[in-house]
Amino acid sequence: MEKTIIFILFILNFLPFSLKAEEGMWPPVFLSQRIGEMQKMGLKMTAEEIYSINNSSLKDAIVQFGSGCTGVLVSEKGLILTNHHCGFGSIQKQSRMEHDYLTNGFWAGSMEEELPNPGLTVTFLVRMEDVSIKVMEGVTASMTELDRAAVIKKNIEKIEKGASQGAGFEAKVKPFYYGNQYFLCINEVFKDVRLVGAPPSNIGSFGGDTDNWAWPRHTGDFSIFRIYASKDNKPADYSKENVPYKPKKYLSVSMKGVEKGDFTMIFGFPGTTKEYLTSYGVDLIAFKENPVKVSFRQQRLDIMKNAMASDRRTRMQYASKHAGIANGWKKMMGESKGIERLGTVGRKHEEEKGFAEWANADQARAIKYGALFNAAEKTYKRLYPYDLAGIFVTEGFQGIELLKFASGFKDIIKLSSQKDAKESDLVKNAEKLRSATLTFFKDYQQSLDRKVALALLTMISNKMSQEFKPDFFKEIEKKQHGKWAGFVDRLFATSVFADSSKLIQILSEPGAKSLRKLAKDPAYLLIASSAIMMDKTISPVMLECNRTIDSLQRIYIEGLMHYENGRLLYPDANSTMRIACGKVDDYSPEDAVNYRYFTTVAGILQKENPDIYDYVVDPKLKNLILSRDFGEYVDKDGTMHVAFTASNHTTGGNSGSPVLDGNGSLIGLNFDRNWEGTMSDLQYDPDQCRNIILDIRYCLFIIDRFAGAQRLVNEMKLVND
């Protein structure tokens, strides 16, 4: 008897793509098919209340924040909440040695004090529409992939042009299921987004990169912005005359707190997932790409960390860069580990065998799908060395700040060599580069970059396949006999790109002659040589292979839909709006270990360590905790909760996403995933994958009790049910 049950469980685990209720990030236009399941899970709203193109609905309170995060409206005056790590770049740009908002926090005392952030946008989804038929117009079965792509591209351009609704709106057609379906998204983009509040880093990034991608977590990862609009409530460039945006919808904030098993719904703009990749694709990412990327990043991070620890200015300049590099580095390690633990490659291989058997049992199917996996295997084999070489360029050469910076001068150098180049074009280009130069040097430490250059060039020299080494690099290599220190010294001593005043001088009087000199600069020569290798040798093969893989994936997914008997599969994330449902849940990462689903402020004091930057506790926060000054934000169990875990399927881009209860009230802000679940972009495991959410009451507590910014809490609508 027991054996039978174990056998059935085993089989269930192996059933192809056996989706669990929590798995998937669903486009809101799929709601009508999903709503029953969601209501069974605990949702108490109708599909129309969540997504409607005629009436205001929940979706009108959700924005894409910048290009990589999500935010949520919480007041009728355009106030938005997102994560601290999403506002990080903006907060850093506003920071100076004399007013370091990143370290010390920032709280605008009134609307007049709210700070504009040039370049920062928030985007609303106005509506989505299935345009697959129009996109496929003229596509025939006998077409080559290239012709097919050309027809589709043209159709998309036509649709986007035709759908354009004027200033402030954008129309974008996006492929779903690797191009089995296409949706048109009409967006409204606001450009005057001001910084309203941010906790100090020792709250907003508490635990830093040490705790990143891990649970238990005690990070107050939020920041506050406000959307400003023209007097008629339309998107407008920054102007003093702009007024707070009046949203169609904003969320109520729940004071109730959560319990294990409670329904959770996440609305947001997840970036990329690859859940339907073949075994060969997963193998490439998890076991070939990730380890190489990790080893390059490890070198940079070690050097940065040392420099940051010994100098406050360096810490301020490199905090954001370090966090970005470390974030990917740690994620990749966790992902590979998770994929190995789940045995995803072997498991997918088995699934593929089943699929191939099914395909080959029918002649028509065999023609369509029979050769899929052989073709995939062959293509990935061809791709691998080129893909690897590409990583040496992007993580290696471009990981050296000086070189990356020099690569930005490609256009002006080209322009300066053209006989008929217009003086005005040169001047315009130089002006742009002048401001890029100032920005670059504001956050640059040459001594640090030198160390990075030495480490990365040595690594490239030792590990990059000879056939892909850029010509200029090989020349130096020959002269240096494997010793790079001398070259690095000379590079930094002679390159104009390492000398801000010389460079600014050239850009201030941008004559073609002085600009042509830049083309012979060693930093430029090196990065340009790697770009040539990339453009001429690496990219063409990568492009060709990836195109083949994309078309194989398209056919595979289409086949899976039939294989799965018409079951609705969720499309991979593609930075469009998605909804993911789950429940508040704990998890057990290993035998005998069980992680509770919420953390409290007690953990902040337990982690406190004045000697470790990531664990310095803000003295004011410590006082509030010790005096239990939690106000009405305390949980009914008497403790102050900080974060909790749930089983929603999320990915990068979901940061700052509102987490809603069954009534659509805000219970938290999503900000991360757990270590054991970092492989969820390739395979979601309902047992281990948890998203990490800031309890909204901790956010309110910090705004109100810590920062004394009651004016912001007063704008929100707090509810108790």
Looking at the Cβ atoms of 28 and 668, the one nearer to ligand ARG is: 668
Looking at the Cβ atoms of 16 and 68, the one nearer to ligand ARG is: 68
Instruction: List the Cα angle 204/84/687 in 5-degree steps.
Output: 85
Binding residues (CB under 6 A) for ligand ARG: these are 85, 205, 208-209, 212-213, 323, 326-327, 652, 655, 672
Residue 425 CB: number of other CB atoms within 10 A?
A: 14
| CA-based radius of gyration for the chain | 27
- What's the min distance (Å) between Cβ of 85 and ligand ARG? 4
Count of residues that interact with ligand ASP, criterion CB under 6 A: 10
Is 695 annotated in the active site? no
Looking at the Cβ atoms of 352 and 672, the one nearer to ligand ARG is: 672
Residue 529, contacted partner among ligand ARG, ligand ASP, none, CB below 5-8 A by kind:
none
Written as six digits, the tokens of 63 are: 């924005």
* 8 Å CB contact between 527 and 406: yes
Distance CA 486, CA 490 (A): 6
Distance CA 221, CA 401 (A): 28
- Quickly list H helices, 111-170: 132-135, 145-163
Distance CA 170, CA 548 (A): 30
Q: Positive or negative CA dihedral for 122, 670, 259, 204?
A: negative
Residue 651, contacted partner among ligand ASP, ligand ARG, none, CB below 5-8 A by kind:
ligand ASP
Closest CA to 331 of 672, 720, 686, 17: 672
- What's the min distance (Å) between Cβ of 672 and ligand ASP? 5
Is 85 annotated in the active site? yes
Looking at the Cβ atoms of 85 and 578, the one nearer to ligand ARG is: 85
Helix (H) or strand (E) holding 436: helix 423-442
Would you count residue 211 as binding ligand ASP (CB under 6 A)?
no
Is residue 322 classed exposed, middle or buried when 0-12, 13-18 and 19+ CB atoms within 10 A define those classes? buried
* 8 Å CB contact between 607 and 615: yes
Lay out the site mask for ligand ASP across 15-54 (x = CB under 6 A, - = otherwise): ----------------------------------------
Closest CA to 19 of 229, 399, 374, 275: 275
Single-letter amino acid code for the residue at 186: I
Contacts of 606 (CB under 8 A, 6+ apart): none
Question: Helices 372-391 and 539-563: crossing angle, nearest 10°?
Answer: 140
Pick the catalytic residue: 254, 529, 647, 655? Answer: 655
Return the residues of window 634-693 that contact ligand ASP according to CB under 6 A: 650-655, 671-673
- What's the min distance (Å) between Cβ of 582 and ligand ARG? 18
Residue 654, contacted partner among ligand ASP, ligand ARG, none, CB below 5-8 A by kind:
ligand ASP
- What's the min distance (Å) between Cβ of 290 and ligand ARG? 15
Looking at the Cβ atoms of 219 and 665, the one nearer to ligand ASP is: 219
Looking at the Cβ atoms of 290 and 654, the one nearer to ligand ASP is: 654
Pick the catalytic residue: 211, 221, 387, 661? Answer: 221
Residue 650, contacted partner among ligand ASP, ligand ARG, none, CB below 5-8 A by kind:
ligand ASP
Residue 192, contacted partner among ligand ARG, ligand ASP, none, CB below 5-8 A by kind:
none
Residue 312 CB: number of other CB atoms within 10 A?
A: 11
Is 99 annotated in the active site? no
* 8 Å CB contact between 617 and 604: yes
- Around 592, how many Cα atoms within 13 Å sit in the side-chain half-sphere? 0
Return the residues of window 60-119 that contact ligand ASP according to CB under 6 A: 69
* 8 Å CB contact between 123 and 189: yes
Looking at the Cβ atoms of 453 and 679, the one nearer to ligand ARG is: 679
Pick the catalytic residue: 84, 85, 641, 649? Answer: 85
Looking at the Cβ atoms of 234 and 321, the one nearer to ligand ASP is: 321
- What's the min distance (Å) between Cβ of 653 and ligand ASP? 5
What are the catalytic residues?
85, 221, 655
Site residues for ligand ASP per CB under 6 A = 69, 650-655, 671-673
